[in-house]
């Protein structure tokens, strides 16, 4: 089966969307693991950023009072 070059047309060319996921997203064995690891790291980044903002806000509130 020839797959068109444009991603939108390639998506329509597949009869079953599971085949698209298997062929493109899961073709490399490291892709799912990298996505999970990236999600964990992004959560930690947001948590750290939130803690920094919280400490800045409490410092500003203490100095204002």
pLDDT of residue 3: 53
Could you give the CA distance from residue 31 to residue 44 in angstroms, rounded to a whole number? 20
- In the chain, where the domains are located: 7-64
Condensed to tens digits (0 to 9), the pLDDT of residues 4-47 reads 566 666 666 656 777 777 777 767 778 778 889 999 999 999 99
Condensed to tens digits (0 to 9), the pLDDT of residues 44-60 reads 999 999 999 999 999 98
pLDDT of residue 55: 94
Distances from the Cα of 21 to the Cα of 2, 7, 12, 51, 61, angstroms: 17, 13, 13, 37, 50
């Amino acid at each position: 089966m020839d797959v068109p070059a444009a991603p939108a047309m390639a998506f329509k060319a597949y009869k079953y969307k599971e085949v698209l996921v298997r062929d493109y997203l899961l073709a490399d064995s490291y892709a799912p693991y990298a996505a999970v690891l990236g999600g964990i790291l992004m959560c930690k980044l947001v948590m750290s950023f939130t803690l920094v903002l919280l400490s800045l806000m409490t410092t500003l509130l203490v100095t204002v009072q």
